[in-house]
Structure 1
């Protein structure tokens, strides 16, 4: 638990000044995925979690990623779950899901 908090703190400190593909950005994205997966599993049963969580994270803003990364450490609240659903239902995310998330299962 302490390791996760330390990782999140480091990610938060450096995310603003890092390039989108930097180490801190990747750490925050990885933490955020941990918050996204259970919400997707509950709200969208049957959706392949790995590609779907990638689509959600790829279509989230930096502030949203930080909120979800924080929630993965402190626990998901209703507002965090709602944020995942909001991001998942954006047109860009739906397109990603159709292209990358569900396509392998439709062929």
Structure 2
């Protein structure tokens, strides 16, 4: 009986991980659109050719709560909170390193 219960728990946890991964991927996809829009409309200093690398670096360096903010903005629209969140992530040293690396490796700089 314990073996059956342990197997059911393991299967349930495996399903939870799959569901969480699917939710995370969906949120990140929505977030990419929001970040792209935010960069294009609120950060005119970002060259158009660098918007995609900037977007990827911002997503990669955002916490789960920040990704949730982007997903919220995908539903209700970009606002000052969204802009502040993007600005905060851009200010991180890890994000700056990512930006530099992606821009150089893609030959965009």
TM-score by length of 2: 0.72
Unpaired segments ≥5 residues, structure 1: 1-16
Q: Distance in 1 between matches of 2:28 and 2:17?
A: 13
Q: Distance in 2 between matches of 1:89 and 1:39?
A: 15
Post-superposition CA distance 1:55-96 (Å, at most 9, x none)? 001100001101111111111111111111111121100100
Q: CA deviation at 1:45?
A: 2.6
Contact 1:18 1:25 (C-alpha < 8 Å) held by counterparts: no
SS of structure 2 residue aligned to 1:27: helix
Aligned length: 88
Largest Rg, 1 or 2: 2
SS of structure 2 residue aligned to 1:54: helix
In the alignment, which residue of structure 1 is the partner of 2:30?
31
Aligned with residue 89 of structure 1, among 88, 91, 101: 91
In the alignment, which residue of structure 1 is the partner of 2:55?
53
Q: Distance in 1 between matches of 2:69 and 2:17?
A: 17
Contact 1:33 1:69 (C-alpha < 8 Å) held by counterparts: no
- Aligned pairs for 1:1-107 (under 5 A) are 18=17, 22-41=21-40, 42-43=42-43, 44-46=45-47, 48-100=50-102, 102-103=103-104, 104-106=107-109
Contact 1:87 1:93 (C-alpha < 8 Å) held by counterparts: yes
Q: CA deviation at 1:18?
A: 3.8
SS of structure 2 residue aligned to 1:22: helix
User: Hey, which of these two has a bigger chunk of helix by percent?
Assistant: 2
In the alignment, which residue of structure 2 is the partner of 1:10?
none
